[in-house]
Amino acid sequence: MFLRVDKLQIELPAPKRQDPNAGAALQELLGGKYGEMSTLGNYLFQSFNFRSKSKLRPFYGLVAAITAEELGHVELVSNGVAMLNNGPDGDDDETDGGDVSGAPYEAMKDIRLAAAFYSNAGGATPVNSNGASWNADMVTTTGNVIVDLLHNFHLECGARLHKLRVYESLTDPTGREVCGYLLVRGSVHAHAYALALKKITGVEIEKMLPTPNIPLGNIPECQKYLNAGSHRRLYTFSPDDYAEIAGVWGGGETALPGDPPGELEVVEGMPEGGKIHQLTGVPSAFTPDYAPEEMFEIAEKLYQKSR
Amino acid sequence: MFLRVDKLQIELPAPKRQDPNAGAALQELLGGKYGEMSTLGNYLFQSFNFRSKSKLRPFYGLVAAITAEELGHVELVSNGVAMLNNGPDGDDDETDGGDVSGAPYEAMKDIRLAAAFYSNAGGATPVNSNGASWNADMVTTTGNVIVDLLHNFHLECGARLHKLRVYESLTDPTGREVCGYLLVRGSVHAHAYALALKKITGVEIEKMLPTPNIPLGNIPECQKYLNAGSHRRLYTFSPDDYAEIAGVWGGGETALPGDPPGELEVVEGMPEGGKIHQLTGVPSAFTPDYAPEEMFEIAEKLYQKSR
Amino acid sequence: MFLRVDKLQIELPAPKRQDPNAGAALQELLGGKYGEMSTLGNYLFQSFNFRSKSKLRPFYGLVAAITAEELGHVELVSNGVAMLNNGPDGDDDETDGGDVSGAPYEAMKDIRLAAAFYSNAGGATPVNSNGASWNADMVTTTGNVIVDLLHNFHLECGARLHKLRVYESLTDPTGREVCGYLLVRGSVHAHAYALALKKITGVEIEKMLPTPNIPLGNIPECQKYLNAGSHRRLYTFSPDDYAEIAGVWGGGETALPGDPPGELEVVEGMPEGGKIHQLTGVPSAFTPDYAPEEMFEIAEKLYQKSR
Amino acid sequence: MFLRVDKLQIELPAPKRQDPNAGAALQELLGGKYGEMSTLGNYLFQSFNFRSKSKLRPFYGLVAAITAEELGHVELVSNGVAMLNNGPDGDDDETDGGDVSGAPYEAMKDIRLAAAFYSNAGGATPVNSNGASWNADMVTTTGNVIVDLLHNFHLECGARLHKLRVYESLTDPTGREVCGYLLVRGSVHAHAYALALKKITGVEIEKMLPTPNIPLGNIPECQKYLNAGSHRRLYTFSPDDYAEIAGVWGGGETALPGDPPGELEVVEGMPEGGKIHQLTGVPSAFTPDYAPEEMFEIAEKLYQKSR
Amino acid sequence: MFLRVDKLQIELPAPKRQDPNAGAALQELLGGKYGEMSTLGNYLFQSFNFRSKSKLRPFYGLVAAITAEELGHVELVSNGVAMLNNGPDGDDDETDGGDVSGAPYEAMKDIRLAAAFYSNAGGATPVNSNGASWNADMVTTTGNVIVDLLHNFHLECGARLHKLRVYESLTDPTGREVCGYLLVRGSVHAHAYALALKKITGVEIEKMLPTPNIPLGNIPECQKYLNAGSHRRLYTFSPDDYAEIAGVWGGGETALPGDPPGELEVVEGMPEGGKIHQLTGVPSAFTPDYAPEEMFEIAEKLYQKSR
Amino acid sequence: MFLRVDKLQIELPAPKRQDPNAGAALQELLGGKYGEMSTLGNYLFQSFNFRSKSKLRPFYGLVAAITAEELGHVELVSNGVAMLNNGPDGDDDETDGGDVSGAPYEAMKDIRLAAAFYSNAGGATPVNSNGASWNADMVTTTGNVIVDLLHNFHLECGARLHKLRVYESLTDPTGREVCGYLLVRGSVHAHAYALALKKITGVEIEKMLPTPNIPLGNIPECQKYLNAGSHRRLYTFSPDDYAEIAGVWGGGETALPGDPPGELEVVEGMPEGGKIHQLTGVPSAFTPDYAPEEMFEIAEKLYQKSR
């Protein structure tokens, strides 16, 4: 079972301007082969299909707990996409007057992923930066623990590379913050899968990290997460389960050489998180609708009634 | 953010025999257009992309909370698939001797979804009962609240129809229990989206239920859930959030006419749940590996260390 | 069986200039999930697969007749796409000299759907505005009348939303006229499916219209169709069949509140229609060929012979 | 524009028994690369995108008129699929009692295209015999007349080959009749495109026919159509248009050497056609619904009112 | 550039009987995510896109040379598929009489991949064992050497697992021989990529082999290749290039511990290879055609003329 | 079996500037329906699946030998794509300083195929100019020789049309040279398939050439290949096999009327070829890595060791 908490894993800065091509760039980290839908989909189905769960608890727990974190990553990138497509935080009481006849969205015809406006009003969907859908070909779940863990290690390394390149193409703080945070957390996951593989096979595969060969410290947006020790911390993302991942992550092992030093630690639960930004409705785009005032009023009454 | 709990939403009976075509049938409820990946994918992205969240809280909360329940449905169907593909609960200490040369899996060449054995060792993946992948075409997120809710209402009605047909093709108790439970919960979701639409538009669309026109009471596997009142209960699936869905579900409204009577109620948190069955490893299929004994021993030590 | 008439459903204005990205925008209404290929595909296969046709004639007839209209919508949007990709109506006798070596199509390398030029010379194909193909996942045909009609009602509402957004991104009169007409006809179809559902279930679902919540009267390009009463008219699109749709559409029911008032009526046959624009050949793009003069001459002789 | 006539192009015999794998076989002729969706899709979009229509009228008319016939082929194969999936013509008043709990559809779990039952109740959809979707990759529309006609000629030859193989795998009269008729009409289309190419290029490409190298006369189910001269007849499938195709088909040219001799002729309009079989509802499969009696009664009243 | 040699990499035994589901099983090793189209596609595009080729010659050469071997693997599996679909080696002079009307291929309607018969006459195509297409999502080419090599190492391990499972489902000697050979060669490739990674990163990743954890010696069909030392041998598959792969493979390194001992060696050129089996034509399936005698005669004359 | 030679089929000029949209344009000739992956895929699988190979040797040999040439075409276009995406030939010793934090790739967010940068660092992949994947729907292999050859003839004509249009959109010499060469070679293949069809059927289908109706002589980039007689030359692309294609190509037949006159000839082996350009690494894009110096040093040592 899964529970949901109405927060993002981190506090995101609001975009400075609307930039649909930046939103589309971030889609590569959502629906691309090495995007968050893929990390989620792989670990989700691997955790369901895991054999001999009770005999392999620290390894099963690792895949299961990281799955929950990946759900939050999908959420974070999706929020980033929608925010960049919509622009600075706004005010629902300011409307655009409601004349739809003057081609108010002419600019949308020339953006890269025009369908993201036409069909989704700038919302995120599980497609890559070219608009191609995420799909089951991006899921590896073999039932063999070594093959799955090795796949996951390679996936996190590849994902790191893709995050770096998307980061390098963005100037807006929202997208850059998403990338910075995911780079730190992706490094944790790569490290964790490496340690799991080392426990089982004896191969010190964590010595391949960082791949690509650039320390997190070179990315300004990673600094605050490094300072806070996020790179040494694995969360159980569970009220009561998965603490046994400490068998893999911790027990005296330490941060990767290029990162701020310290012991690896398991945190039961989740990070503090940050607020979910409002996506201001745009009546002329029919979000939440053309004339939403009555809907707002109904919702307000229902909300009061529910307290 | 999301948290994970190491339980299924219900207790499932173990399969009586291995039946890969039954597992493949259940895949229609996982990766088909009206399957759980679709309900999950729709509500997940709709909740990320929801406009004017704070002004529309009971409606936003409804989509957000049901998303979390759908994650558990994906988990439940996936467990059902894997269990049916693997057969009765087993014992990891009994192995098959390890001679792989005598074509021990000849039968797998004739099952409908042979790739599910070859690539996934009988594990679940996001494909339908013909092996076609789930994809972004099955996600509707328009940013318009009425269109999205109407889509969701239709989706839950369609999903109910598909669950009924899969149910009617299964004889094994595992698959039938999955269907019975999902039918009850799907009815709750259809009812909830109907009430949301009624609040906003005034149209008594819940009077279309049940669609198709068969009461849950005709399905033996639904009885215990009806008796327990599951059809009147919407969970927040959250430690602290989404209680405002009581603005939509409840407030004096009652169960659908054909179902056991009573008031609708919101339950903060989640159901009690049931255990996740062990999927016994099969060394000759290399799950978790060909000779997993050493791996088991390592895992046991790491587990002990983590306590 | 189907018959074809060499006219469009309406008279379209010629484009003022070539605008491939506008043509690509219109593709969302052709091959997108809520585009005309989808409405066509859904009703086409639903009508083939309809159970108990003779006992459910007004409902079967409704789906069957609207299918024929949707064929004309696919034709209309496709003509719009091809016209926008090709520019103003031209004259086949003016050619471009035939020097292909000077990169005469350099601009095509930077348009959004470059493949539409390279492979289709600007012709329409069943893809969306991002170039992703229409496919069977966009077809719902369940055999259950309520689920199918409910799906269709939601589909027409969703399609209306998408048409509005495409309309809002276009400045050229060709594309805007296509949208204006389709908005009126889509409203008729949503209304008709709503009435069908109401007849069967008693739910006044037509009160949800218009969705999104903007009256057609706000769209200048809809005016002439509203003035002509198109919003009150359902065609049989058949020489002799489907008149029984009057059991659903008409019988005293009237136009939607926000639209010009009047009774709903069934028209046997089809609208008057408008001419199909010539798509002038462009020899340097090898349409109809590099040096088509001889082909024109042959065609002229064959045409004369056929009279 | 298109009109619809509530008949099939021919009279089909009812199936002798339900045979879902035979229905699935016929899907290859519907949604396969060389199936009727492909011939339809190619000619439909080619006719929309045709350049210099007025100067190339006999050729444009040929593609446009055959498009309309292909719509009827899609209809014919779809009816065949649905009939084979459903079995002998039945009687809506005989119902199956309504107990859905005894796994009445256990057999459906083992058919090749299980999703066709679960999602479509045995209805036809645009997929091939393996359940893979038809898509835009199967449409060639280049704007170049020679390339398009050459493609079409090859397509009809390939389609003939596929029809032959499907025919050879079917024993039921319904499917065999569909194949027999389509073989004759496909030969007409191959012949017609060959003649068009010959008129333009001078190459006697019709001498390649029949491809594959087997005369229609070897197929018993083709006999009555040959006897009736169907192989020499091209219909305009239009109330008033496309008669100029006589410039290509006819003018003294004759049937292919291996077929019954005679002159080619153009028939304005359409063939007489045959009745559409009832697809009997199956309440336990929720078609048209679980308890459709009230729906039948409503429909009957509406039908009476509409006369 | 590439050259072709009219031989398979090994001598294959003829099938003992026609077994289309066995052919379909082998398709998983052709068009599945971990099949030969994937290894080919990955290395082909990686070798094209390789940066700093001259500075990284032993690594570039490794990817480039293995690409050529993979082409032969695609060929080998494809031949296996076609052979199993067609049955024992036959004699083109024996024909089946030519009566196509008696449903000679009724059995084909019930095989798993019916489209493989209808469209391909039992020929191989780039699809997996469920009929889903190979595609670009199965290609990783990042431009980063470590990520690509790590991907390739994981790919070869995963491919080994899939080959083992397909092997375990086959009883026919043709398919088993294909698997046995590919298992040995796949081990070589996994070993080679491991050594490349070790040279660059220092991580002894080859110690993870064999994955899954079963020695090749347990597979009878691998024995002759092990005896011949194939597991220690990397071919340049080139007339003159790529000998520099000896910088990675060899230089004193030895076979994996569980395999027959010995030094690794590079062989310039290719293995001796085996004959390509005739796929006997089947006139009633129109291969090479219905009445091919004249075609054979023409071919014979042209062949004589060419000597 | 296949061998590889470390050269391109021709010498390509270096690009004058980086132009990702030109690279994306060239992708249409790589992964589009009429691109080189399609010609390769068709002939590759047709040659594997060819029936009665020994009796039909000149025809089998033709398909088999052209397959090998197509591999080189895939290589050539891929190199062209990667070169255009990367810009002028560079020097690996010049690096960009390594500061990745200043959004050095901001421009990549606005290119048409952004995923080609993010995931592939500008490398080629099997997708078309809109980013849609090449797939098995683009492969026709029927087992019938006439249908396959006719398909191939149409494919080469269609491919010629697409190459012309891509050529007309490019200004950079690299892309234009690729197109010029492929136009000449594509003409040879169209001509060769035409002759094969003529031998078997007697139809002078080569008289349809050139299609589209423009002589190669109008394309400046074709001149040097015409002057060298490339249009009259078919290579065996094999050390020892396929010389029997002289039964089809040659024997006194001559060049097409519009091309420089002369006899057709078969050349055993391959053309001389040209060098493969270096794709300079870009550390800030992590190609071959962020700080590749150590990797270069290791490679150099390994290379020396291998001599």
pLDDT tens-digit series, residues B146-170: 999 999 999 999 999 999 999 999 9
- Cβ neighbours for D85, distance < 8 A, ≥ 6 positions apart: D18, D19, D20, D23, D116, D117, D122, D123
CB-based contact, D174 to chain E, within 8 Å: no
Q: Do F169 and C131 touch (CB under 8 A)?
A: no
CA pair distance B280, B259, nearest whole angstrom:
39
The pLDDT tens digits for B2-51 are: 999 999 999 999 999 999 999 999 999 999 999 999 999 999 999 999 99
pLDDT band at D96 (very low <50, low <70, confident <90, very high): low
Q: For the purposes of burial, counting CB atoms within 10 Å of the CB of E300, is it exposed (0-12), middle (13-18) or buried (19 or more)?
A: middle
Chains touching chain D through at least 3 C-beta pairs below 8 angstroms are: B, C, E, F
Closest residue of F to D209, CA-based?
Answer: F201
SS3 F278: coil
Rounded (10°) angle between helices E20-31 and E145-168: 170
Chains touching chain C through at least 3 C-beta pairs below 8 angstroms are: A, B, D, F
CB-based contact, B306 to chain C, within 8 Å: no
pTM exceeds 0.90, yes or no: yes
Closest to A132 (Cα-Cα) out of A40, A30, A42? A30
The percentage of chain D sitting over the pLDDT mark of 90, rounded to a whole number, equals: 95
Closest residue of A to B128, CA-based?
Answer: A136
**Cβ atoms of residues D23 and D84 within 8 Å:** yes
**Cβ atoms of residues F182 and F29 within 8 Å:** yes
Task: Name the average pLDDT for chain E.
Answer: 96
For residue B54, what pLDDT is reported? 96
Question: Apex CA B30: angle with CA B28 and CA B36, to 5°?
Answer: 120
Residue E306 reports pLDDT greater than 70: yes
Q: Could you give phi then psi for residue D282, rounded to 5 degrees?
A: -130, 95
CA pair distance C129, C28, nearest whole angstrom:
5
Size of interface C-D (CB pairs under 8 A): 333
Closest residue of A to C131, CA-based?
Answer: A131
Residue range C161-183: mean pLDDT, rounded: 98
Structure tokens at C228: 């002509």
- Cβ neighbours for E216, distance < 8 A, ≥ 6 positions apart: E183, E184, E187, E210, E222, E226, E231, E258, E259
The pLDDT tens digits for B115-131 are: 999 999 999 999 999 99
Angstrom CA distances, C21 to C25, C36, E14, E166, stand at: 6, 19, 56, 48
Rounded (10°) angle between helices C145-167 and C173-201: 160
Cis preceding-peptide flag for B212 (omega within 30 of 0): yes
**Cβ atoms of residues B248 and B189 within 8 Å:** no
For residue C63, what pLDDT is reported? 98
Question: Apex CA C148: angle with CA C145 and CA C152, to 5°?
Answer: 135
Task: Name the average pLDDT for chain C.
Answer: 96
**Cβ atoms of residues C235 and C269 within 8 Å:** yes
Structure tokens at B81: 């698939």
The pLDDT tens digits along chain A (307 residues) read 999 999 999 999 999 999 999 999 999 999 999 999 999 999 999 999 999 999 999 999 999 999 999 999 999 999 999 999 999 988 765 666 678 999 999 999 999 999 999 999 999 999 999 999 999 999 999 999 999 999 999 999 999 999 999 999 999 999 999 999 999 999 999 999 999 999 999 999 999 999 999 999 999 999 999 999 999 999 999 999 999 999 999 888 999 999 999 999 999 999 999 999 999 999 999 999 999 999 999 999 999 999 8
Closest residue of D to B127, CA-based?
Answer: D115
Q: Which of A106, A118, A131 sits opposite C162 (nearest CB)?
A: A118
**Cβ atoms of residues D56 and D145 within 8 Å:** yes
Torsion angle defined by CA atoms of residues A5, A10, A13 and A19, in that order, rounded to the nearest 10 degrees: -80
CB-based contact, C104 to chain A, within 8 Å: no
Instruction: Quickly list DSSP for chain D.
Output: -EEE-SSBSSPPPPPSS--HHHHHHHHHHHHSTTSHHHHHHHHHHHHHH-SSTGGGHHHHHHHHHHHHHHHHHHHHHHHHHHHHHH-S---TT---TT--TT-TTGGGGGSTTHHHHHTTTT---SB-TTSPBP-GGG----S-HHHHHHHHHHHHHHHHHHHHHHHHT--SHHHHHHHHHHHHHHHHHHHHHHHHHHHHH---GGGG-SSSS--GGG-GGGHHHHHTTGGGEEE--SSS--GGGGGTS-TT-B--TTSPP-B-EEESS----BPPPP---BGGGTBS-SSTHHHHHHHHHHHHHH-
Residue B93 reports pLDDT greater than 70: no
Angstrom CA distances, C11 to A100, C8, C224, stand at: 23, 7, 12
pLDDT band at C98 (very low <50, low <70, confident <90, very high): confident
Residue E93 reports pLDDT greater than 70: no
Chain B residues whose CB is inside 8 A of the D284 CB are 168
SS3 F3: strand
Chain B residues whose CB is inside 8 A of the E28 CB are 114-115, 118-119
ipTM: 0.98
Q: Do F204 and D208 touch (CB under 8 A)?
A: no
Strand partners, B103: none
CB-based contact, F43 to chain A, within 8 Å: no
Chains touching chain F through at least 3 C-beta pairs below 8 angstroms are: A, C, D, E
Q: How far does the CA of residue C91 sit from the closest CA of chain F (Å)? A: 21
Task: Name the average pLDDT for chain F.
Answer: 96
Closest residue of B to C132, CA-based?
Answer: B137
For residue C92, what pLDDT is reported? 60
Angstrom CA distances, C114 to A299, C21, C180, E33, F158, stand at: 45, 10, 27, 29, 17
Residue range D260-265: mean pLDDT, rounded: 97
For residue D93, what pLDDT is reported? 60
CB-based contact, E306 to chain F, within 8 Å: yes
pLDDT band at F124 (very low <50, low <70, confident <90, very high): very high
- Cβ neighbours for E279, distance < 8 A, ≥ 6 positions apart: E82, E83, E86, E287, F49, F50, F51, F52, F53
Closest residue of A to F99, CA-based?
Answer: A218
Q: Which of A135, A147, A204 sits opposite E203 (nearest CB)?
A: A204
Rounded (10°) angle between helices A36-49 and A145-167: 170
Task: Name the average pLDDT for chain D.
Answer: 96
Place of tokens 């893709």: A162
Instruction: Centre a 10 Å sphere on the Cβ of residue F269 and count the other Cβ atoms it contains.
Output: 13
pLDDT band at E249 (very low <50, low <70, confident <90, very high): very high
**Cβ atoms of residues B80 and B182 within 8 Å:** no
CB-based contact, F105 to chain A, within 8 Å: yes
Core vs surface per residue B268-284: b (16+ CB within 10 A) or e: eebbeebebbbbbbbbb
The pLDDT tens digits for E22-44 are: 999 999 999 999 999 999 999 99
Pairing label, strands E2-4, F2-4:
antiparallel
Chain E (201-230) residues lying within 8 Å, Cβ to Cβ, of chain F: none
CB-based contact, F21 to chain D, within 8 Å: no
CA A249 to chain centre: 21
CA pair distance A153, A208, nearest whole angstrom:
10
Interface test with F, best of D34, D129, D130, D154 (most F CBs within 10 A): D154
Residue range E179-194: mean pLDDT, rounded: 98
The pLDDT tens digits for D213-231 are: 999 999 999 999 999 999 9
Chain A residues whose CB is inside 8 A of the F108 CB are 25, 165, 169
**Cβ atoms of residues D267 and D243 within 8 Å:** no
**Cβ atoms of residues F291 and A258 within 8 Å:** no
Rounded (10°) angle between helices D36-49 and D20-31: 20
The beta strands (E) that lie in chain B are given as 2-4, 233-235, 265-267
Closest to E286 (Cα-Cα) out of F192, F194, D167? D167
Residue C94 reports pLDDT greater than 70: no
Amino acid letter for position E299: A
The pLDDT tens digits for D4-21 are: 999 999 999 999 999 999
Q: Do A118 and C167 touch (CB under 8 A)?
A: no
Q: How many CA atoms lie within 13 A of F278 on its CB side?
A: 17
CA pair distance A119, E192, nearest whole angstrom:
48
Sign for the pseudo-dihedral over CA of E259, E262, E263, E268: negative
pLDDT band at B180 (very low <50, low <70, confident <90, very high): very high
Question: Apex CA B276: angle with CA B189 and CA A50, to 5°?
Answer: 110
SS3 E1: coil
Closest to F249 (Cα-Cα) out of F167, F189, F180, F182? F189
CB-based contact, C133 to chain F, within 8 Å: yes
* Between A198 and F307, residue with greater pLDDT: A198
